Amino acid sequence: MTLEPTGRVTPSTLDPQDRFLTLVRDIGELQWVRDSLPVQTKHYQTLKQHQEREMHLKTLLEKQMYSTRVSEETGRFVWSTDTETNAHHGLFLYRFD
């Protein structure tokens, strides 16, 4: 038997019984990886959805903060239409607390 640098036994130099056991171990390792893929995929998708919700919430909060800051600093500019004359009037609305 010879060992590879990774610590694994080289199958080509083994007798058939040792080679069979090495292959069974490799298959067992690969089976574990295959069986764990759906769980890992679901976990990844859950994390991805959580991140998307967090980013959406962050965007909404940033927009709300911006609109609050603008309305507090400069007031809101509101256009109104006089229905009798169809004249447009621009008004600044200020908050007085």
| Within a domain: 6 | no
Say how far apart CA 78 and CA 90 lie, in whole Å: 6
Across the range 80-93, mean pLDDT stands at 51
Range of the domain at 40: 11-93
| Within a domain: 34 | yes
Contacts of residue 5, Cβ cutoff 8 Å, sequence gap at least 6: none
Across the range 68-85, mean pLDDT stands at 61
Look at the chain and report how many structural domains it folds into: 1
Q: Is the pLDDT of residue 54 over 90?
A: yes
Query: pTM score > 0.85 for this model?
Result: no
| Within a domain: 5 | no
31 vs 90, higher pLDDT: 31
Reduce the DSSP state of residue 9 to 3 states and report it: strand
pLDDT of 57 reads: 94
Mean pLDDT of the chain: 75
Q: Kindly report which listed range (12-16, 57-61, 84-88) carries the lowest average pLDDT score.
A: 84-88
| Within a domain: 47 | yes
**What's the sign of the alpha-carbon dihedral 18, 23, 24, 28?**
positive
